[in-house]
A = this chain, B = another copy of it.
Amino acid sequence: MSSSSAAPTAKPPMRDALVAAAFQLFLERGYEQTTVDDIVALAGVGRRSFFRYFPSKEDVVFPDHERCLADMTAFLAASAEADEPVRRVCDAARLVLRMYAENPTFSVQRYRLTKQVPGLRAYELSVVWRYERALAGYLRGRFADRPGGTLRADVVAAAVVAAHNNALRSWLRSDGEDDAGVAVDHALGYVQAAFGHEAPGHPAPDHPRAEGAEDVVVLVARRDAPLWRVVQEFETVLGRG
């Protein structure tokens, strides 16, 4: 697909050229030693063009987060009552991973740059905070009727972001060679196991459900489940049945 396509998500070529010029200079000279004037000179455009796309030099380092935040907000706004809330925020977090995984080389370069420049690290923290608030805002709405709903929303949102970032950093440290999707599925699965069953609008399973991990078995059942089904499920997960 040509980057001059009229599709709404198409990036203008000038914007792409500015990002490419900026990263070429950041890698050659270092971030602090590169000015906006250097970037526009290499890209062959004027300063005003730069600031049309990016409020500051920091923003050119993270050119896709605003779009991704907008995509996440739209995704959450399009949720149905039937969506299990914890699963839904996990799926929303996957949108961020996808953005990184779409361009591994760029993502790995940026990861190295961000680790070296404290100002970029601070910028990244503010971006992560905005993702976390978007997830927490959705969960607060879904948990509004429950006692402790805002606490639950804030904790789950933070856990989802931490799990996502753990997987993302592992993938970045592998130079983008590992399978990012597998890592994030594992990480988000851990959060869903910890919190997913408590969500409102997500009825308790019709049948008792047990999961085994190492030396512990966790069994979730409806209060009104028949005892024989609980025993059956327990025996099944233990391989004793």
Contact = CB atoms under 8 A, between A and B. Distances in A.
**Copies of this chain held together in the complex:** 2
A8 interface: no
A116 to B, nearest CB: 16
Interface stretch (A15-23, A76-84, A93-101, A162-170): A162-170
Contacts of A195: 194
A151 B192 CA distance: 13
A234 interface: yes
Contacts of A186: 148, 151
A117 interface: no
Interface residues of A, number: 49
Interface of A: 121-122, 125-126, 129, 148, 150-152, 154-155, 157-159, 161-163, 165-167, 186-187, 190-191, 194-195, 197-198, 204, 212-213, 215-225, 227, 230-231, 234-235, 238, 240
